[in-house]
Amino acid sequence: MNIMYYKDIIGYIATIIGVLSFLPVISNIYKTKKTNNFPFKTLILVLISNSLLILSGFLKKDFVFIFMGFIYIVIYSFILFTKLTYTK
């Protein structure tokens, strides 16, 4: 098999493990609607960072980067949305 294939598989596995590690955090935020551990500025920087990761993926034609960036944008967008919606 091609070495690029293995690199992609490793990248997808790393993304899945990263998302699985976030599930307890997402579950807790969903239940409690509290995002105290995520400062607003940090969320904005993470969203910018992952947007640039997606752009880099498109420029390099690296679909693992695109996939990873998209998944993390969804996660952090949920956290930001919850923060904006439920913070008094």
Q: What is the domain-level CATH number for residue 22?
A: 1.20.1280.290
Rg (CA), the chain: 15
Number of domains within the chain = 1
* pTM for this predicted structure: 0.86
Distance, in Å, from the CA atom of 86 to the CA atom of 72, rounded to the nearest integer, reads: 21
User: Residue 1: its pLDDT value, please?
Assistant: 62
**What DSSP letter does each residue of 42-72 carry, written as one string?**
HHHHHHHHHHHHHHHHHHHT-HHHHHHHHHH
User: Residue 8: its pLDDT value, please?
Assistant: 86
DSSP state, residue 62: -
Quote the domain boundaries for residue 7: 3-86
Per-residue pLDDT of 26-85, as tens digits, reads: 999 999 999 988 999 999 999 999 999 999 999 999 999 899 999 999 999 999 999 999
